[in-house]
């Protein structure tokens, strides 16, 4: 955690809404993208993102780093919101709107776009396990380190490396099958 962020968190903990607003400004786009990939609809993603930050604001006093960075704490809240959303809505996630929302500098997109269309990648991403999808999103879309992804998903660094490896291998297999079928 950067020193400035640590100070903002401290100010937010004592109730300074402007400090939390700055944290919101910094993290909202990443949390929104993460949720959008999970739910597939902009309005739902916007609503859930607002709920995440409302919960974070309501519970900021309980935040303690304890090895989990602030971003990891927010992602945990986001994952729980998405899980609650599916429990109540009984809907399925889609990646239909992802193309407009992922920044162009996303490494995973660049690595795949030369050989495969984003539509092909979307199709095969649906075949990954939720943990594999989460690891790829956190690592390559949101650019978290292995350590931060592990803390966010409450798994060991070794488990994250293994999930990432298996997810990439599965993507390769699925994409090569998809490519050969076309």
Task: Report the interhelical angle of 17-39 vs 3-13 (nearest 10°).
Answer: 100
Q: Are 41 and 97 in contact (CB under 8 A)?
A: yes
Q: What is the pLDDT of residue 1?
A: 47
From first to last of its 182 residues, what are the pLDDT tens digits of the chain? Answer: 456 888 999 999 999 999 999 999 999 999 998 888 888 788 999 999 999 999 999 999 888 877 778 988 999 899 889 888 887 765 444 444 444 444 444 455 454 444 456 566 667 777 888 889 888 888 887 788 898 888 888 899 999 999 999 988 888 888 777 666 65
First-residue to last-residue Cα distance in the chain: 46
Q: For the chain, which domains are there?
A: 1-95 (1.10.1740.10), 102-182 (1.10.10.10)
pLDDT reported for residue 91: 42
CA 152 to chain centre: 10
Rounded to the nearest 5 degrees, what angle is found at the Cα of 180, between the Cα atoms of 177 and 182? 115
CA pair distance 95, 65, nearest whole angstrom: 32
């Amino acid at each position: 955690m950067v020193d400035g962020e640590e100070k903002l968190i401290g100010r937010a903990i004592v109730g300074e809404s402007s400090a939390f607003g700055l944290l919101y400004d910094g993290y909202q786009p990443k949390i929104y993208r993460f949720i959008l990939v999970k739910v597939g609809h902009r309005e739902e993603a916007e609503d859930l993102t607002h709920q995440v930050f409302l919960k974070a604001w309501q519970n900021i006093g309980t935040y303690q780093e304890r090895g989990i960075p602030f971003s990891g704490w927010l992602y945990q809240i986001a994952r729980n919101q998405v899980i609650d959303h599916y429990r109540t809505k009984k809907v399925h996630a889609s990646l239909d709107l992802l193309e407009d929302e992922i920044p162009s500098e996303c490494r995973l997109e660049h690595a795949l776009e030369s050989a495969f269309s984003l539509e092909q990648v979307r199709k095969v991403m649906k075949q990954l396990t939720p943990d594999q999808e989460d690891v790829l999103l956190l690592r390559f879309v949101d650019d978290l380190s292995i350590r931060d992804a592990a803390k966010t998903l409450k798994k060991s660094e070794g488990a994250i490396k293994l999930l990432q490896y298996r997810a990439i291998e599965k993507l390769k297999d699925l994409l090569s099958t998809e490519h050969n079928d076309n």
